Structure 1
Amino acid sequence: MSTNTYSLTWDLEAFFKGGSESTEFSLYIEEIGSLLTTLEEQVSQFTAPKNSNDVTNLADIIENIQIVGKKLSQSGGFISCLQAQNMADQKANLLRGTLTQLFAKFSTILTTFHDQLTKVEESVWNEILNSEEFKEIAFVLNERRQKANELLSVEQEALITSLSVDGYHGWGQMYDTVVGKMEIEHNDKTLSVGQASNLFSSKDRSVRKDIFEKWEETWGNESDYFAKILNHLAGFRLSVYGQRGWNKVLKEPLAINRMSQETLDAMWGAIIDNKAPFVEYLQRKAQLLGVEKLSWYDLDAPVADVDSTVSYSEGAEFILEQFKQFGDELTDFTKMAFEDSWIEAEDRAGKRPGGFCTGFPESNQSRIFMTYSGTPSNVSTLAHELGHAFHSYAMKDVHTLNKSYAMNVAETASTFAEMIVADAAVKNAKSDQERLALLEDKVQRSVAFYMNIHARFLFETRFYEERKNGIVSKNRINDLMEEAQKEAYCGALEEYHPHFWASKLHFYITGVPFYNFPYTFGYLFSLGIYAKALEEGKSYEQKYIALLKDTASMTVEELAQKHLGVDLTKRDFWESAVKLSLKDVEEFLSITE
Structure 2
Amino acid sequence: MRFTAVNKSCHSVSETSASPSSHTDLGTLPVWRLDDLYPGTDSAEFKADLAKAQEMSLAFETKWKGRLEKAAHNEGEQGLGGALSDFEALEDLLGKIGSYAGLYYYKDMTNPASGKFFGDVQAKITDLAAHLLFFTLELNRLDDAVIDAAIARDPATAHYKPWLVDLRKDKPHQLDDKIEQLFLEKSQTGASAFNRLFDETLASLKFDVDGVSQTLEPTLNMLQDANPATRQKAAEALSKTFRDNIRIFVLVTNTLAKDKEISDRWRGFDDIADSRHLSNRVERPVVDALAAAVKDAYPRLSHRYYAMKAKWLGMETMNFWDRNAPLPESSDRLIRWDEAKDTVLSAYGNFAPEMAEIAARFFEGGWIDAPARPGKAPGAFAHPTVPSAHPYVLVNYLGRPRDVMTLAHELGHGVHQVLAGDQGALMCQTPLTLAETASVFGEMLTFRALLDKTSDTRERKAMLAQKVEDMINTVVRQIAFYDFERKLHTARKEGELTAEKIGELWLSVQGESLGPAIKVSEGYETWWAYIPHFIHSPFYVYAYAFGDCLVNSLYAVYQNADSGFQQKYFELLKAGGTKHHSELLAPFGLDATDPAFWSKGLSMIEGLIDELEALDKAG
TM-score strictly above 0.5: yes
In the alignment, structure 1 residue 294 sits paired with structure 2 residue 318: yes
Letter paired with 2:81:
A
Matched, 1:168 2:191: yes
* 2:10 corresponding residue in structure 1: none
Contact 1:415 1:526 in 2 (8 A): yes
The answer to whether 1:267 aligns with 2:294 is: no
Map of 2:20 onto structure 1: none
Greater relative CO, 1 or 2 (CA 8 Å, sep 6+):
1
Aligned residue among 162, 182, 185 for 1:139:
162
> Offset of 1:220 from its aligned partner?
1.1
Task: Give the whole-Å Cα distance in 1 for the aligned partners of 2:558 and 2:347.
Answer: 13
Structure 2 letter corresponding to 1:325: N
- 1:499 aligns with 526
Deviations 1:4-44 (A, max 9, x none): 987522322222223x4545334433332332222232342
Alignment size in residue pairs:
586
Contact 1:36–1:105 (8 Å) recurs in 2: no
Residue 28 of structure 1 aligns with an amino acid whose one-letter code is D
CA shift at 1:332, angstroms?
Answer: 1.1
Q: Which amino acid aligns with 1:555?
A: H
Q: Check the 8 A contact 2:101/2:117 in 1, yes or no.
A: yes
Equivalent residue for 1:39? 60
> Matches of 2:72 and 2:428 in 1, distance apart?
28
Identify the residue that residue 179 of structure 2 maps to in structure 1: 156
Question: Which one of the candidate residues 487, 493, 504 is aligned to 1:479?
Answer: 504
Residues 548-563 of structure 1: matches in 2 within 5 Å? 548-561=573-586, 563=587
Alignment partner for residue 337 of structure 1, among 347, 354, 362?
362
TM-fit CA distance, 1:45: 4.1
- Which of these residues, 349, 356, 361, is aligned with residue 374 of structure 2? 349
TM-score, normalisation: structure 1 = 0.94
> 2:440 aligned with 1:415, yes or no?
yes
1:184-228: CA deviation from partner (whole Å, max 9, x where unpaired): 111332211122111111111111111111101101111111111
Of 36-45 and 102-111, more deviation after overlay is shown by 102-111
Which one-letter code corresponds to 1:39 in the other structure?
F
* Offset of residue 319 of structure 1: 1.2
Deviation at 1:106, TM superposition (A): 5.3
After superposition, residues 193-592 of structure 1 pair within 5 angstroms as: 193-278=216-301, 279-303=303-327, 304-429=329-454, 431-495=456-520, 497-509=524-536, 512-536=537-561, 539-561=564-586, 563-592=587-616
Amino acid at match of 1:432: T
Question: Which residue in the other structure is 1:186 paired with?
Answer: 209
Q: 1:538 to 1:79 in 2, by over 3 A?
A: farther
1:80 CA displacement: 3.0
Distance in 1 between residues matched to 2:173 and 2:348, nearest whole Å: 44
SS at match of 1:397: helix
CA shift, 1:538, in A, is 6.8
Contact kept, 8 Å, 1:201 with 1:208, in 2: the verdict is yes
Q: Do the aligned residues in 2 keep the contact of 1:235 with 1:467 (CA within 8 Å)?
A: yes
Which residue identity is paired with 2:529? A
1:9 paired with 2:31, answer: yes
1:453-481 per-position Cα deviation (integer Å, ceiling 9, x unaligned): 12211111011111111111111011111
Range moving further from structure 2, 41-50 or 269-278: 41-50
Amino acid at match of 1:502: A
Q: Which amino acid aligns with 1:461?
A: R
Amino acid in the other structure paired with 2:414: A
How large is the RMSD of aligned CA atoms in angstroms? Answer: 2.2
- 2:405 & 2:562 partners in 1: Cα distance? 21
In the alignment, is residue 73 of structure 1 matched against residue 95 of structure 2? yes
Give the percent of matched residue pairs that are identical in Structure 1 and Structure 2.
Answer: 23
- Give per-residue Cα distances to partners, 1:346-404, cap 9 Å, x unaligned: 24333221011112325442111111111111110001111001001112322332212
Q: 1:499-540: CA deviations, max 9, x gaps?
A: 12211111111xx33121111111111222222222236742
Deviation at 1:305, TM superposition (A): 3.8
Distance 1:551 1:581, change over 3 A: farther
Q: Structure 2 counterpart of 1:536, which letter?
A: A
Equivalence for 2:19: none
Change (3 A) 1:245 1:539: closer
Contact 2:37 2:389 in 1 (8 A): no
- Which deviates more from structure 2 when the two are superposed, residues 271-280 or residues 259-268? 271-280
Counterpart code for 1:529: L
SS of 1:360's equivalent in the other structure is coil
- Per mean C-alpha deviation after superposition, the further-off stretch among 398-407 and 387-396 is 398-407
Amino acid at match of 1:223: I
CA distance in 1, matches of 2:330, 2:139: 62
Is the contact made by 1:412 and 1:522 (CA closer than 8 Å) also made in structure 2? yes
Please tell me the residue identity of whatever aligns with 1:564. Answer: F
The offset of 1:110, in angstroms, is 4.8
Mapped contact 1:114–1:148 kept (Cα < 8 A): no
| Structure 2 CA distance for partners of 1:60 and 1:264, relative to 1, 3 Å | same
Q: For each residue in 1:392-440, what CA deviation from the matched residue of structure 2 results, as whole angstroms up to 9, or x when unmatched?
A: 1112322332212111111111110010001222222363332222211
Q: Distance in 2 between matches of 1:430 and 1:24?
A: 55
Q: Is residue 95 from structure 1 mapped to residue 89 from structure 2 by the alignment? A: no
Alpha-carbon spacing, 1:531–1:408, altered in 2? closer, same or farther (3 Å):
same
Distance in 2, matches of 1:110 and 1:256, equals 20
Q: Secondary structure at the match of 1:275?
A: helix
CA distance in 2, matches of 1:38, 1:149: 29
1:48 counterpart SS class: helix
* Cα deviation, residue 50, structure 1: 7.7
**1:200 touches 1:301 (CA, 8 Å); kept in 2?**
yes
Q: From the superposition, tell whether residues 570 and 103 of structure 1 become closer, same or farther in structure 2 (CA, over 3 Å).
A: farther
In the alignment, is the contact (CA less than 8 A) between 1:184 and 1:196 conserved in 2?
yes
Instruction: Provide the secondary structure at the position in 1 that maps to 2:561.
Output: helix
Counterpart mapping for 1:53-132 below 5 A: 53=74, 56-105=78-127, 107-131=129-153, 132=155
Q: In the TM superposition, what is the alpha-carbon distance from 1:154 to its structure 2 partner?
A: 0.8
User: Which stretch has the larger CA shift, 91-100 or 404-413?
Assistant: 91-100
Single out whichever of 182-191 and 490-499 deviates more from structure 2: 490-499
Match of 1:48 among 37, 45, 69: 69
Q: Does the C-alpha gap of structure 1 residues 296 and 43 become closer, same or farther in structure 2, counting only changes over 3 Å?
A: farther
Quick one: distance in 2 between partners of 1:47 and 1:340? 42
TM-score normalised by the chain length of structure 2: 0.90
Deviation of the 1:57 alpha carbon: 4.5
Q: Which of 576-585 and 416-425 deviates more?
A: 576-585
Distance 1:389 1:40 in 2: 34
**Shift in Å at residue 54 of structure 1?**
5.9
Structure 1 unpaired stretches of 5+: none
Structure 2 letter corresponding to 1:506: H
Distance 1:283 1:318 in 2: 31
**What amino acid sits opposite 2:605 in the alignment?**
S
